[in-house]
């Protein structure tokens, strides 16, 4: 892994996710959308949060036979939005996140879920989790923000390491897809008119005047399945456009070694 590129990515990413308040963490980072951004009313936001959480949970657990005896791990868990309901369905739920402030906010959010914990990690490993000790690893709204292929591959290696033989993995990330014609035209025309380059939906602004490409690396489904196999993960299903035109959900299982 290119240490300089990784260090810059980690600094930029941590800086974005280190929200200064629970409100910012929940409603301006984890669940940021036009609906959330349009209101500051706590009641409305709680309703939106609950509905978004339920929809995400259904997607994560689709065709996953989760058991009360399982140990589950979430990559990029934030304050534990999804970890809390997963913990209610399993024996132990461990979340990892690279943001120290998200980890701090998770302590309050997960109060009352004694079998759930969030650990600070380095953005690419599952250090501290034993080999072949986990039944289910999942990730939602995290891989789509990883802009380095090396980080993605490091995580896949770690997932294969901690999963039990036959253990499940479910990941949401960006799929390779043609850019809409309208976006391509804007990319060409706006600079010619002396305007800023078109900011597509895959670019977020986290600081005035500074744009960070959080859209993440993309994979053709065939390439992604091949990458999973290379790391000992056998893809059992692929869902394209589930929840977003560019999303790709894959379920895989660790093979016997």
**Percent of the chain whose pLDDT exceeds 90:** 69
H-only helix segments in the chain: 3-17, 22-25, 34-37, 42-60, 83-87, 100-109, 149-162, 181-192, 221-230
Per-residue confidence (pLDDT) for residue 111, from 0 to 100: 95
Residue 187, token pair as written in the block: 């990319």
Residue 174 token pair: 């960006």
pLDDT digits (tens, 9 = 90+) for 47-83: 999 999 999 999 999 999 999 999 999 999 999 999 9
Pairing of strands 218-219, 233-240: unpaired
Encoded tokens for 160? 């294969």
**With DSSP H G I counted as helix, E B as strand and the rest as coil, what are the percentages for the chain, rounded to 5?**
40, 25, 35
Alpha carbon distance 62, 15 (integer Å): 33
Q: Report whether 34 contacts 48 (CB < 8 A).
A: no
State the CB neighbour count (10 A cutoff) for residue 50.
10
In the CATH hierarchy, which top-level class contains the domain 3-178+216-254? alpha beta
- Describe the crossing of helices 149-162 and 3-17 by its angle, rounded to 10 degrees: 80
Task: State residue 206's pLDDT score.
Answer: 47
Most distant CA pair in the chain: distance in Å?
61
- Please report the pLDDT score of residue 214 as a whole number: 57
- pLDDT tens digit sequence for 133-191: 999 999 999 999 898 999 999 999 999 999 999 999 999 998 876 666 666 676 677 67
Percent of the chain's residues with pLDDT above 70: 86
Structure tokens, 159: 């997932």
132-154 burial, b at 16+ Cβ within 10 Å, e below that, comes to eebbbbbbbbbbbbbbbeebbeb
Per-residue CA distances from 218 to 133, 134, 175, 221 (Å): 29, 27, 5, 9
């Amino acid at each position: 892994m290119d240490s300089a590129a990784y260090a810059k990515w980690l600094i930029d990413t941590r800086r974005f996710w280190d929200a200064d308040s629970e409100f910012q963490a929940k409603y301006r980072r984890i669940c940021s959308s036009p609906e959330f951004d349009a209101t500051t009313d706590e009641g409305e936001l709680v309703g939106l949060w609950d509905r978004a959480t339920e929809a995400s949970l259904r997607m994560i657990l689709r065709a996953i036979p989760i058991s009360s005896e399982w140990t589950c791990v979430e990559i990029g868990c934030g304050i534990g939005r999804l970890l809390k309901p997963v913990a209610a369905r399993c024996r132990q739920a461990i979340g990892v996140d690279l943001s120290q402030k998200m980890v701090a906010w998770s302590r309050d959010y997960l109060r009352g879920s004694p079998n759930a914990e969030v650990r600070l990690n380095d953005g690419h490993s599952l250090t501290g989790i034993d080999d072949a000790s986990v039944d289910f690893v999942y990730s939602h709204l995290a891989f789509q923000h990883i802009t380095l292929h090396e980080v993605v591959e490091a995580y896949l290696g770690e997932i294969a390491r901690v999963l039990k033989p036959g253990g499940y993995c479910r990941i949401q990330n960006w799929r390779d897809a043609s850019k809409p014609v309208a976006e391509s035209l804007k990319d060409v025309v706006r600079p010619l008119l002396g305007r800023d380059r078109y900011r597509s939906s895959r670019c977020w602004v986290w600081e005035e005047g500074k744009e960070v490409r959080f859209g993440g690396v993309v994979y053709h489904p065939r390439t992604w399945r091949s990458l999973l196999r290379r790391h000992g993960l056998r893809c059992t299903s692929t869902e394209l456009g589930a929840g977003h035109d560019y999303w790709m959900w894959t379920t895989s299982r660790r093979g016997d070694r």
